[in-house]
C-alpha cells in the first residue's frame, strides 16, 4: 500500500507532466492512461490519481471520455509549485526541503538527508566504479533520444567524461564524482519533463532509477 507521501508525489507528477505535455494550455487533451504509463503508473493507479485531481478541480470536467486536460486551477497549481518549490501549494506539500550539513572533510562516505524512515549503507570499491562506467555508457547511448538542448547536451557529455575519467582513476575523487552526478541527474530529470516523445521520457526515468549507489547517495 502506498504511503500518503507517495500518493501526493504521484498526483503532482501526473499534473506536472500533463502541464509539460500540453505546454500549460487549458483544455488540451491527452489520453489519461497513456500519460499514466509514461509515469510508470498502472491503470488502477492512474484512475486513482485522476479521480483525486478531478475531485480537487485541477482537471477540466469538459472533454472526451478517457482523456484529461488542465483546468485553470490546475495550471495555477503547477506554476505555483515550480515558482516556489520550498512552499506548499493549496493541494501539495513543499517539494524542496533545505538541509544544511557542514563537513570539514569526507572521503568514501555517504549522507542521507530529508528521507524519514530511510536507511542507507554503502562501500566504495572497484565494483562501484564499474557500475559508474556502465551507467555512464547507458546515458551516453540514450542521449540522442532525450531531446536535450544543445547547451544541455554539451553539459551532459562533459560530465559523462568527468565520471568516466574519475571511475578509471587509481584514486577517484568523491567530490568530483558527486558534482558530476548531481549535474547529470538534473539534466535527466529535465529531459524526462521536456522529452518530445514518450520513449525519451521513459528513458530518462529509467536512467535516474538506475543511478549507481555511489551517485544516488549524493546529498
- On whether residue 119 sits in a domain, the answer given is no
pLDDT class of 127 with cuts at 50, 70, 90: low
Residue 41: closest CA among 27, 24, 26, 53: 53
For 75-111, write each residue's pLDDT tens digit: 999 998 888 877 888 888 876 544 455 555 444 445 5
Tell me if residue 84 falls in helix, strand or coil: coil
Residue-level pLDDT at 208: 82
- Owning domain of residue 201: 126-216
User: Is residue 105 packed enough to be buried (19+ CB in 10 Å), middle (13-18) or exposed (0-12)?
Assistant: exposed
CATH number at residue 13: 1.10.10.10
- On whether residue 91 sits in a domain, the answer given is no
Q: What is the mean pLDDT of residues 26-53?
A: 90
Residue 2 reports pLDDT greater than 60: yes
- On whether residue 192 sits in a domain, the answer given is yes
- On whether residue 168 sits in a domain, the answer given is yes
- Examine the fold and report which residue of 48, 83, 118 is the final residue of a domain before the chain moves on: 83
- On whether residue 98 sits in a domain, the answer given is no
What is the pTM assigned to this prediction? Answer: 0.46
User: Is residue 56 packed enough to be buried (19+ CB in 10 Å), middle (13-18) or exposed (0-12)?
Assistant: middle
Pick the residue with more confidence: 41 or 101? 41
Q: What is the DSSP secondary-structure string of 134-150?
A: HHHHHHHHHGGGTT--H
User: Structurally, how many domains does the chain consist of?
Assistant: 2
Tell me if residue 29 falls in helix, strand or coil: coil
- Examine the fold and report which residue of 55, 83, 111 is the final residue of a domain before the chain moves on: 83
- On whether residue 103 sits in a domain, the answer given is no
Grid coordinates representing 31 are 489520453
Amino acid at each position: 500500500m502506498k504511503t500518503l507521501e507517495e500518493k501526493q508525489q504521484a498526483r503532482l507528477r501526473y499534473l506536472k507532466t500533463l502541464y509539460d505535455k500540453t505546454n500549460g494550455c487549458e483544455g488540451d487533451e491527452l489520453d489519461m492512461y497513456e500519460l499514466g504509463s509514461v509515469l510508470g503508473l498502472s491503470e488502477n493507479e492512474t484512475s486513482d490519481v485522476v479521480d483525486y485531481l478531478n475531485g480537487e478541480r485541477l482537471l477540466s470536467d469538459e472533454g472526451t471520455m478517457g482523456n484529461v486536460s488542465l483546468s485553470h486551477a490546475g495550471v495555477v497549481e503547477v506554476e505555483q509549485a515550480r515558482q516556489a518549490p520550498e512552499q506548499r501549494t493549496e493541494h501539495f506539500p513543499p517539494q524542496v526541503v533545505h538541509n544544511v550539513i557542514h563537513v570539514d572533510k569526507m572521503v568514501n562516505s555517504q549522507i542521507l538527508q530529508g528521507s524519514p524512515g530511510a536507511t542507507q549503507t554503502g562501500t566504495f570499491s572497484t565494483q562501484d566504479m564499474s557500475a559508474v562506467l556502465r551507467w555512464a555508457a547507458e546515458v551516453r547511448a540514450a542521449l540522442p533520444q532525450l531531446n536535450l538542448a544543445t547547451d544541455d547536451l554539451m553539459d551532459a557529455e562533459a560530465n559523462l567524461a568527468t565520471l568516466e575519467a574519475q571511475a578509471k582513476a587509481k584514486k577517484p575523487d568523491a567530490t568530483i564524482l558527486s558534482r558530476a552526478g548531481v549535474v547529470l541527474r538534473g539534466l535527466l530529470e529535465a529531459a524526462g519533463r521536456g522529452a518530445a516523445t514518450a520513449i525519451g521520457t521513459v528513458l530518462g526515468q529509467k536512467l535516474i532509477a538506475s543511478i549507481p549507489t555511489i551517485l544516488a547517495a549524493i546529498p
